[in-house]
Structure 1
């Protein structure tokens, strides 16, 4: 063969080789970050494999043997797990992100994305809703200068944030916008207005519709009303996420309502923080069987959990729904009235399927209720104390103590309630369709947020599962836990470009030692960051680097499929 032909053939072969080269042979490629020598657990549930991960312009650019590649930052992950960033399926950080956008309680757990908006969402908002929530805004020293999701997202993006955030539109919020706090069904015109608000929110980026049917005025909404709103969310590609009407004695009926909404609205359903309380303590298997049957019948229903035996919510949730009619100001009036207080006491002491009675659900009643946070500074000394202790100090009955505490704190108190069994928590966690939530706002041990006393799940949920249920008890395998933390959650929320380590996906990545990662927060000392996260990347930018928080705020607003971009 003549030399010039042989040379031409060699150049052709070389050119073909360049076109088909794997990333490992691209010696001159410049990446932003390369994570070398790690054990890749990609989020799908598959076993780990050895590979390097390269990041460029916020996305995963290559996975493989990248020994010859170059990057501005090289992370040696020898002996460490490299996994997708964790997705918190219910995070509650919409306001605290405006206080401390780094939300260290989240990122030190490995959380890179949060979904929020439980029943009452950050928008839509009007003057009366702001007045009703003024104590909360004042507590966080936040001025609500937005009225729509778009305005809120603009504020959030302008200041920056350490994690990605997506939100539902709350059915409670659209009800409050149209009907205020009235205990009645909407008129046809009012329902139409509510549907229009849901449609507007979906077009502005909401991920779906949410309910929190325990907290007034949400219990005033009937099933048909919720189906009508869910149909709008479904038409815009959203899901329906719910804190069900009951998580105790009437939970089976609440499940049936949830399935009906999913079926008749033709919408995927996510059950927030699945739990068994009240007379259903120890009977999680029955709840799971009911959900499995619904799934087998064609209802796309799944759930999430935070895997603790205590929950946290407003202390006012102990008061029956009828007493909340008209909002907190009316509630305070009723608590001060001897006749209505007597009625409240009777309802709290009487088992009923009509509402979720947390007094009867609490283990050891008053001793099972701990004060979490207060608005009235004069009550700060009671944070962390049990209602039984406060009742003894005040020389009164514990139910009177709850009523009087709410009066003194303008119904702004939060409480931790011990009311679940560990066996139920474990069984829920094992289900293949259960993902993970913290059900708590992002917070910090320092500054304004550090003055509150949160549930330890705020700081510890994800590392606790890795330490307690994966490493120690072996209830879950590490790949399965990571799947629950990432791909499963992304699938539920239709986040098609997150949740898995794969070329082209956004580079939300965690790097940690599976033998040392653990939670530190406790009920007695909750403001403690989890340990073990060596690196956390959000959209390719480290927010934790070498175990330390950076100044970066690379988070993005994640919008639903109906968002038009206008």
Structure 2
């Protein structure tokens, strides 16, 4: 911040909400309904100088290089997505892709990457993206770390391997990672034991980070949904680290209706003093791969080559088929799996089987032999979705991934469907759980609130029209209703259109003093 900006910030800070008419700012958002993040809304103004908010109040007497009339609009902090898979977009050679339009057009200004255990420990590479449209923070991932040290085998690490993994996690945290993520449902992470996970999560906790988990079982595949929630809480307790449960849900016919019992477990841990939170996307279909949906863990030991061999092994193929039949049952049947990429994109598994003149399991094996495509898996009930959404510790997330409308519409859909249409939560709660709660949970200092001194990440949207357009059939349609998005003080969306300005930045977390 140059001397003029610093002097202006100090001057406005000294005089309170109002400011002398002689003072001049870069941007004045005037007359909107302002939701600061946690505080009550009011009709008023937000002033921006450089990359910071310099004043917020009912009526600011400031001159500005540009004034945006926000009358009738909602003015809120830029939304923060705690669980995404937009690494490829941030690293793209295509400047338009690096803007991450699907996020900006919903008002999302910050994303967390490296989720589900996929975050590389090479933080220098992770934080090297330039000319990007949104801010991003990153996890170091268990899958990347374990894969590099232990490989794809179903075994425990040696003491030396565990020490090496701990050093990798610690090193990434010291280079700016915000936490340690796992995807314990996915091989080879699924081959781990609780104590191994806790030992690595502790390295993040010592440095001020948190433990982010796609839990071991969201359904009834192995230890069950309740057991997996208990394990996540145990990791936090053993590792002395805050716990964040990714995309909380009750997945599949065996566990639908269990949301109240799962909520009770989390509430009990919170009452006992543990820091436990979760995020959620507002869709009834999850997004995963065909292998993850149908193939049992034992058949994934050794990786893809070993799996393909088991399809043809006379001693194993009948057992493998029987387990796939049961997994398909718990997912809700062949019509509940929609392929979202590759040769069979847009087709449900029952339709693929019919076209091939075979049954669903044989069709799935044929597809997997060629490729393990992403799928949308329709497996949740509205009652469970809404029960989780009402909890004050559950924030908005997208789990943005290929071919699923959640990448382009999660925040907009949550507002349109669950605030306006179904009135599941209030507008205040939607904004707080999409901004301040997320910033506080993941440790993003100076973001998530409209207040003096905060970074100027701001969304202005039309409360009558803000909604998703993306569908399962057309998952890449941009949301509607966002008028303006400001990222670090720069206007990235203006009058409902992308400006092409790439003002995003990598957000490195400062590790706890003395921990590195």
TM surpasses 0.5: yes
Q: Are positions 1:405 and 2:354 aligned together?
A: no
1:70 is aligned, of 52, 63, 71, to: 63
1:332 is aligned, of 298, 308, 313, to: 308
Alpha carbons 2:208, 2:512 under 8 Å: kept:
no
Structure 2 Cα separation of the partners of residues 292 and 245 of structure 1: 20
Alpha carbons 1:281, 1:421 under 8 Å: kept:
yes
1:60 is aligned, of 42, 53, 66, to: 53
2:268 is aligned, of 269, 290, 293, to: 293
1:239 is aligned, of 210, 224, 235, to: 210
TM-aligned CA deviation for residue 66 of structure 1: 5.3
1:425 is aligned, of 380, 385, 409, to: 385
Alignment-derived partner of residue 114 in structure 1: 111
Q: Are positions 1:256 and 2:253 aligned together?
A: no
Structure 2 Cα separation of the partners of residues 459 and 18 of structure 1: 38
1:207 is aligned, of 161, 164, 178, to: 178
1:89 is aligned, of 82, 85, 104, to: 82
Q: Count residues with an aligned counterpart.
A: 495
Q: Are positions 1:552 and 2:501 aligned together?
A: yes
Alpha carbons 1:336, 1:407 under 8 Å: kept:
no
Q: Which runs of 5+ in 2 are unaligned?
A: 1-10
Structure 2 Cα separation of the partners of residues 392 and 65 of structure 1: 63
TM-score normalized by structure 2? 0.93
Structure 2 Cα separation of the partners of residues 68 and 496 of structure 1: 28
Structure 1 Cα separation of the partners of residues 432 and 426 of structure 2: 10
Alignment-derived partner of residue 14 in structure 1: none
TM-score normalized by structure 1? 0.85
TM-aligned CA deviation for residue 18 of structure 1: 9.9
SS in 1 for 2:68: strand
1:169 is aligned, of 114, 126, 140, to: 140
SS in 1 for 2:18: helix
Point out the structure with max Rg over C-alpha: 1
Q: Are positions 1:515 and 2:464 aligned together?
A: yes
Residues 521-554 of structure 1 show CA distances to partners (whole Å, capped at 9, x for unaligned) of: 1112222110000001111111111100011111
Alignment-derived partner of residue 299 in structure 2: 323
Q: Which runs of 5+ in 1 are unaligned?
A: 1-16, 125-147, 351-356, 442-451
Residues 64-102 of structure 1 show CA distances to partners (whole Å, capped at 9, x for unaligned) of: 255542222211101111100101110111122222101
Residues 105-133 of structure 1 show CA distances to partners (whole Å, capped at 9, x for unaligned) of: 11111111101212333413xxxxxxxxx
Alpha carbons 2:85, 2:400 under 8 Å: kept:
yes
Structure 1 Cα separation of the partners of residues 230 and 145 of structure 2: 24
Alignment-derived partner of residue 356 in structure 2: 394
Alignment-derived partner of residue 6 in structure 1: none
Q: Are positions 1:416 and 2:387 aligned together?
A: no
Q: Would the alpha carbon gap of residues 172 and 75 (structure 1) be closer, same or farther in structure 2, given more than 3 Å must change?
A: same
TM-aligned CA deviation for residue 316 of structure 1: 1.1
Structure 1 Cα separation of the partners of residues 117 and 352 of structure 2: 30
TM-aligned CA deviation for residue 20 of structure 1: 5.0
Alpha carbons 2:42, 2:58 under 8 Å: kept:
no
Alpha carbons 1:34, 1:54 under 8 Å: kept:
yes
CA RMSD of aligned residues (A): 1.8
SS in 2 for 1:113: strand
Residues 347-405 of structure 1 show CA distances to partners (whole Å, capped at 9, x for unaligned) of: 2334xxxxxx4x23322x1011110112xxxx2xx211110000011111211111110
SS in 2 for 1:287: helix
Q: Would the alpha carbon gap of residues 194 and 165 (structure 1) be closer, same or farther in structure 2, given more than 3 Å must change?
A: same
TM-aligned CA deviation for residue 19 of structure 1: 9.4
Q: Are positions 1:314 and 2:314 aligned together?
A: no
Q: Are positions 1:30 and 2:6 aligned together?
A: no
Q: Would the alpha carbon gap of residues 24 and 315 (structure 1) be closer, same or farther in structure 2, given more than 3 Å must change?
A: same
Alpha carbons 2:376, 2:404 under 8 Å: kept:
yes
Structure 2 Cα separation of the partners of residues 179 and 435 of structure 1: 34
Structure 2 Cα separation of the partners of residues 83 and 89 of structure 1: 17
Q: Would the alpha carbon gap of residues 152 and 255 (structure 1) be closer, same or farther in structure 2, given more than 3 Å must change?
A: closer
SS in 1 for 2:195: helix
Residues 31-82 of structure 1 show CA distances to partners (whole Å, capped at 9, x for unaligned) of: 11110111110110x3310221111110101112555422222111011111
Structure 2 Cα separation of the partners of residues 483 and 20 of structure 1: 28
Structure 2 Cα separation of the partners of residues 111 and 259 of structure 1: 29
Structure 2 Cα separation of the partners of residues 397 and 116 of structure 1: 38
Q: Would the alpha carbon gap of residues 66 and 30 (structure 1) be closer, same or farther in structure 2, given more than 3 Å must change?
A: farther
SS in 2 for 1:291: helix
Structure 2 Cα separation of the partners of residues 471 and 490 of structure 1: 24
Structure 1 Cα separation of the partners of residues 499 and 315 of structure 2: 56
Alpha carbons 1:471, 1:515 under 8 Å: kept:
no
Structure 1 Cα separation of the partners of residues 317 and 491 of structure 2: 53
Q: Are positions 1:471 and 2:440 aligned together?
A: no
TM-aligned CA deviation for residue 172 of structure 1: 1.2
Alignment-derived partner of residue 283 in structure 1: 258
Q: Would the alpha carbon gap of residues 56 and 182 (structure 1) be closer, same or farther in structure 2, given more than 3 Å must change?
A: same
Alignment-derived partner of residue 102 in structure 1: 99
Structure 2 Cα separation of the partners of residues 26 and 335 of structure 1: 75
Q: Would the alpha carbon gap of residues 19 and 528 (structure 1) be closer, same or farther in structure 2, given more than 3 Å must change?
A: closer
